[in-house]
Structures are given as structure tokens and as C-alpha cells.
Structure 1
Amino acid sequence: MEKQHMESLHEETLQTAAQIFKALSEPTRIKILHLLYQKECSVNEISKTLDMLQSTVSHQLRFLKQLRLIKSRRDGTTIYYSPDDDHVLNLLEQTLKHAQHN
């Protein structure tokens, strides 16, 4: 990043960026995001696919949604989750590639 651009960052932007990195520091959240980038899922589907308790999944989804990393839509009584945009996917992909790099 250019020095001039870095100086123009607002405190709120810095705090949000730090929160996003915090979200990506939890393996459970990475698994959930990875799954949601493959397909839209309900809490039930996420729980079954990742072999996690529904309460754990729900808690993590709330955290991710607060940061606008994911969004939800209701279909009857079921809520489906999907990525909010591709920005975090790009960050996640680059991070995973770097982690796998020998």
C-alpha cells in the first residue's frame, strides 16, 4: 500500500479490517465460509456437512453476519446463508494458498 493511502484510513475502517482478520483467525469460521463459497446453506446443512452442533454453527454465523461477511435470506421457515461478496473469498483463497505454500 502506498504511504499516502495508508495515512488516509479512518479508525473505523482499521477496526473493521482487524475484526475481519479476527473472524478469519478461527478455523471453524474458515470452514463455514469455505462451505458457503461453494453453495448456499441452511444452519442444518452446515451442521451436517461440517459435523458441528447447530448452536455452534448459529453462533459463528451471527458473528460472520455482523461483519457482513455473509448474508441470509428466508424461504418459509428456513434461513439460507451465503457470502455477502467476493472480497473475503479472495482474501481467504490467498491466505489458504500461502498456508499451503512450501
Structure 2
Amino acid sequence: MSILETVVVAHVVGICLLLAWAIHGRGRVSLIAGYDGGLPPEREAELARDAAAVLVAAAAATTLLVVDAWTGGVPRAEALTTLAIVAPVAWFLWKWNVREPPSTTR
């Protein structure tokens, strides 16, 4: 991997981390694609935490490609990176689109 490719990947990682910080740290849940508001504040905070966690996981997985390219020490880095990104994204989509929301009445 050349220096240029490393810089491009570093930009992707930086953008993921910046979005994670903006969503979770600054409470900007409007940055989440498809979110139109309407959740109670505690659910909105949970959504922000989950979205930020997925972005941090994607940044870490993408960094794995750089580590492998420079050291050659990660077996099947592409497959591990894909799995490390797809698994949290699938969990996030399942949690917020398929799973029933917790009941507020008993």
C-alpha cells in the first residue's frame, strides 16, 4: 500500500470518527440517515450511542487494512474487515428497524 492509499484510508477513518463524535458527543442525531425525529430523548440518546459505536467499529475495521498492508501480519484482512463492518451495521439496522421498541406501559 502506497503512502497515497494510506492517506485516503486515513481520511475515511477520520470522517467516520468525526461523524461518530458529532452524533454522540454533540447530540446531532439528525446526521443519521433516515432519522426524522419523534423519539423520546432517552431513545434518541440510545440511537446516538449506537450509531456512534457502529461508526467507530467501521473506523477500526478500516484501519485493519492499513495495518495489514504495512505489516502483512493479518490473515484474510479483507474478509475480517468486511465482517467487522457488516456485523455492527446489521445489528444496528435490526435493532432500530426490525426489533420491537421497548414498551413504555406495563
Q: TM class, shorter-chain normalised? A: under 0.3
Tell which has more relative contact order, 1 or 2 (C-alpha 8 A, sep 6+).
2
Q: Determine which structure has the larger helix proportion and give its number.
A: 2
Q: Which has the larger radius of gyration?
A: 2
* TM-score when normalising by structure 1: 0.26
* TM-score when normalising by structure 2: 0.25
Q: Determine which structure has the larger strand proportion and give its number.
A: 1
